[in-house]
Amino acid sequence: MLRLITGIRGATGFGSASTAEEVTDGVDATALTVIITGGASGIGLETARVLALRKAHVIIAARNMEAANEAKQQILNENTSARIDILKLDLSSLKSVKAFADNFLALNLPLNILINNAGIMFCPFQLSEDGIEMQFATNHLGHFYLTNLLLDKMKETAKSTGIEGRIVNLSSVAHLVCPREGIRFQNINDKNSYQDKVAYGQSKLANLLHANELSRRLQEEGANITVNSVHPGLIMTNLMRHSAFLMRILRVFTCLLWKNIPQGAATTCYVALHPTLKGVTGKYFSDCNEYKPSKLARDEVLGRSLWDFSNNLINASQKVIDK
């Protein structure tokens, strides 16, 4: 907490006050192609801007194509040589996730880095079009499915180029605020027991468990791809639209804990690009330094159970779509 408030730098030389540009200074990403979900606003947009500044080819995946076009133009206005493309993606819809993956693969581009950034927070209870609680569907299941659909392309790219692939899941310290059992497998869609903040924490725990289990599987396979999770920090963005009034009040009393957007994107950019993290996988980062997540987040049995549960949800939804 003291390090967060004071901005004291950790072992990496970076801290809570570091910005995305600072942590990627001197990195040449010319050879890299990156997909960023939710790259049209907030820390996703800043991540896209900075990675494009470092000469990566950035694909912004966004639900709102008007906002995505505006984001692209904003980046190009600042950096005329930026390589930016946009593709439509609604993570709450498995059909949309599949369409996005198909559209991207049809471009026959390499894929070095996947940043699972997009999310929703503290929304009222609702079900996705696939009949799954919306925060779990958007924050976890959509990214789980997207990652699986793009994984072969990432393996192929890493093998053909010799460049390590990296997957970054945006989790949160909110993963600590989750159900006692971690993931409510039996009651994932129960409206009566729904609590927006607990459901959000559950989805962020799922992001961590997904990253850790995928990391384990890729290591076992010998694939040249790392998978890590990050906590970006407290940042006032559109993510908080369902609780903006509450967050503004909270910010008055916790002002020293909040970051601006360039600081909020720093840990993502650090984990995605920094050369010192080559080979580092299955870890959790905050303020550009490694931290230990909760005991539940490190539970390998829970991680495997979530993996199977997620696949079963996708398979069940696919059968309905195919009818």
d(CA 276, CA 194): 42
Catalytic residues: 194
What are the pLDDT tens digits along the chain (323 aa)?
Answer: 445 444 578 999 999 999 999 999 999 999 999 999 999 999 999 999 999 999 999 999 999 999 999 999 999 999 999 999 999 999 999 999 999 999 999 999 999 999 999 999 999 999 999 999 999 999 999 999 999 999 999 999 999 999 999 999 999 999 999 999 999 999 999 999 999 999 999 999 999 999 999 999 999 999 999 999 999 988 754 544 444 454 454 444 344 456 999 999 999 999 999 999 999 999 999 999 999 999 999 999 999 999 999 999 999 988 765 55
CB 288 within 8 A of CB 270: yes
Cα angle 283, 293, 119 (rounded to 5 degrees) comes to: 80
d(CA 173, CA 233): 8
User: Whole-prediction pTM value?
Assistant: 0.92
Picking from 175, 295, 183, the residue whose alpha carbon sits closest to that of residue 232 is: 175
CB 16 within 8 A of CB 2: no
> What is the predicted pLDDT for the residue at 251?
44
> What is the predicted pLDDT for the residue at 1?
46
> What is the predicted pLDDT for the residue at 317?
87
Tell me the torsion sign for CA atoms 178, 149, 67, 132: negative
Q: Which two tokens stand for residue 135?
A: 């925060």
